[in-house]
Amino acid sequence: MASQPDAQQGGTSLLKLAAITAILIGFVLVSLRLLPGSPFESAATARWGEGPAQEQSDGREEQAQPTPSPSPTLEPLPFAANDLTSLDIDGWYAWSVLDRRTGEIIGSENMAETSTTASMIKSWIVADYLRRTVEAGRTPTETELADATKIIRDSDNTRTQEFYNNLGGSVTIERLLSHCELTDSNVAEDGGWSRTELSPRDTARLGECIADGRAAGPEWTDWLLEEMRSVRGAGDFGIRKVFPSAVSETIAIKNGWVDRTREQENHVNCLAIGDTWTMGVMLRYPVAQGYQVGMDNCQKITEALLAEPL
């Protein structure tokens, strides 16, 4: 039988063992509550790497940065810079398209070369007349608006000459070059409106100048665009004819066609303004072939430049 001191020493050892065991169990339980993903994890314990803010080493909170939204992707234009060498078009031709959303211009290698505008320039003459009338402090009369309609829709030459004279003749073309920031074009040598020299690239810029309100001014831009959508008769050809009717009726146009006796050439030009683009196509070819060849070729060029068949 053990002595009394031995019994007391044995009891003390058991108490120490029990205490150590309790401490170890407590440490394990606490560790399990702190361990991420443990079933004993405390709901109040922040998970690693989660939460709206994280603690920096200096004790400050670093706010979570919002994820930037992706930039919207622009819908592609209906046109592409396709190779047109297979079209077998007689004479000189050039084209240009301007993206109204970005200002980017694409076109043929010769898109900066000029040709005479013929009636295409009437879109600027009417725009300049409307804007300057407002700048002079008055509203265009019903007679003036009726004349402007005849100029745009029916390409009336007599009324065009009257507007041109009232605008100071070739001074209005000088305003066009500066107001619409054209880079390639020139006033006609003879001072007339029909022989104004414009490039396809500047034709597309003229379209944008009309569409964005600089040409006619904010009060009359919508009116002018609607008149250009209403072009009829001989002047209704070219670019917009490629599109289905639901689209073509939204496209504003002003075309030009003339036979140049001195050069023995036909000059045929097409200007079109869509929702997101403007376009210019210009052609010169032997006079004996007639106007219709140029009108058809303007449409043929446009169709060949479509990014996808309609």
Q: Which domains does the chain have, with CATH numbers?
A: 85-304 (3.40.710.10)
The pLDDT of residue 28 is 46
Where are the strands (E) in 132-251, listed by range?
197-198
Q: Please list the residues that pair with 197 across neighbouring strands.
A: 116, 186
Helix, strand, coil percentages, rounded to 5, for the chain: 45, 15, 40
SS3 11: helix
* Count of CB atoms situated within 10 Å of the CB of 280: 27
> Distance between CA 206 and CA 121 in Å, rounded?
9
What whole-number distance in Å separates Cα of residue 278 and Cα of residue 105? 10
Question: Can you give the pLDDT at residue 24?
Answer: 55
Confidence of residue 308 (pLDDT cuts 50, 70, 90): confident
Tokens at residue 69, please?
A: 């939204």
Q: In the prediction, which pLDDT does 1 show?
A: 45
At 154 the pLDDT is 98
Q: Could you tell me the two tokens for 219?
A: 């009060």
- Which residue is associated with the tokens 């309790």? 22
For 147-178, letters b (16+ CB in 10 Å) and e give bbbbbbbebbeebbbebbeebeebebbebbbe
* Residue 103, token pair as written in the block: 């200002």
Q: What is the pLDDT of residue 7?
A: 44
Does pLDDT of 19 surpass 60?
no
CA R_g for the chain: 38
pLDDT (mean) for 119-145:
98
Give the C-alpha separation, 111 to 72, whole Å. 30
Q: What are phi and psi of 79, to 5 degrees?
A: -115, 155
**Contacts (Cβ under 8 Å, ≥6 apart) of 8:** none
The predicted pLDDT at position 309 comes to 76
86-128 confidence digits (pLDDT tens): 999 999 999 999 999 999 999 999 999 999 999 999 999 999 9
Residue with tokens 């829709």: 153
> What are the tens digits of pLDDT across the range 274-300?
999 999 999 999 999 999 999 999 999
C-alpha distances out from residue 253 to 55, 57, 228, Å: 64, 67, 5
pLDDT tens figures, 252-281: 999 999 999 999 999 999 999 999 999 999
Which of these, 110, 151, 106, 97, lies nearest to 284 by C-alpha position?
Answer: 110
